[in-house]
Amino acid sequence: MNVRRLPAALAAFALVLSFFSMASPGAGSTGFPLCLSANGQFYTVWSEEDAKSPANAGLFDFGQDGNVGGLAPGVESVSFDNCQSPPDADGDGVLDERDNCPTTPPNTQVDETGCVPPPPPVDTDGDGVYDESDTCPGTPPGTAVGSDGCALPPSNPTLVLCVDGHTRMVTLRDAEAEGLIVISGDGTRFRPARAGIEVGACSSTPVTETPATDVPLTPEPTHSMTPEPTAPATTTPMATSTATPTSVEALVALLISILLDILASFGR
């Protein structure tokens, strides 16, 4: 052995050991940062947490404890000379290799893609339906709503129906049980079940047919009990006597004549 070449050989051996220590990081390894080559592309991995990033999926094998156990097959550690691009040119905390917005202004809050995230959806009335989908944006607090943000109809509202000429107030379920109405499959509409029934208080017009369209159920019943119309009262004038009254003068003359006849009879 050439003793003169021993120091150089030992130095080369130490370099190889250092390289393999970097190329095969383990749990708690301090072998980061790494410049890795896979499928013809270069990846800069700065920490074990960065190794777990979705952007670096497939580069590492992980142990049962979830820590980095080594490089995945087909991935190799290379010199940093091959990772020459700045790791984070715009300084937004997202590495350039997965930064979809590489020129983000300084101090800008970005998401994992390096871009400004869209504003969170707004629910002004707090009903659980975002404003962009809320058809009724002013729903009062605590109101049960559907997917459109509008109040759901009550489960058993009171209806006002004209049944065969008689006004009735009856709950939705009772009306259905009595066969007065038919409720739609989605429970939002109903219609009279037969001729002779109409929605609302009875009017002076006879009911002859069933309406062709369903009536919507609303959160607050719109049909209220109203009194049946009554015919206006008419006043019949009292009959006046058509008889001609007896003349007072003639009556007095008759009485005087009778009185005189009586007196004359006594004088005889």
| Two tokens, residue 236 | 């019949």
In DSSP notation, 83-111 reads: --S-TTTT-SSS-GGG-SSTTPPTT----
Q: Where residue 105 falls among pLDDT bands split at 50, 70, 90?
A: very high
Strands (DSSP E) contained in 124-236 are 158-163, 166-171, 181-183, 189-192, 197-199, 215-216
Q: Which of 159, 236, 231 is nearest to 200 (CA)?
A: 159
Predicted confidence at residue 134, as pLDDT, reads: 92
Evaluate whether 206 touches 214 at the Cβ level (below 8 Å).
no
Predicted confidence at residue 217, as pLDDT, reads: 65
Q: Which helix (H) or strand (E) holds 174?
A: helix 172-177
Name, of 32-36, 151-155, 221-225, the range with top average pLDDT: 32-36
What average pLDDT does the chain have?
74
Q: Using CA atoms, how far apart are residues 60 and 79, in angstroms rounded to an integer? A: 18
- Count of CB atoms within 10 A of residue 20's CB? 11
Q: Considering the entire predicted model, what is its pTM?
A: 0.32
More confident residue, 210 or 34: 34
Of 156-165, 213-222, 225-234, give the lowest mean pLDDT range.
225-234
Residues 6+ apart with CB under 8 A from 179: 193, 194
Q: Residue written as tokens 């489960």?
A: 155
Evaluate whether 82 touches 44 at the Cβ level (below 8 Å).
no
Residues 6+ apart with CB under 8 A from 237: none
* Helix, strand, coil distribution of the chain in percent, nearest 5: 25, 15, 60
**Residue 206: is its pLDDT beyond 60?**
no
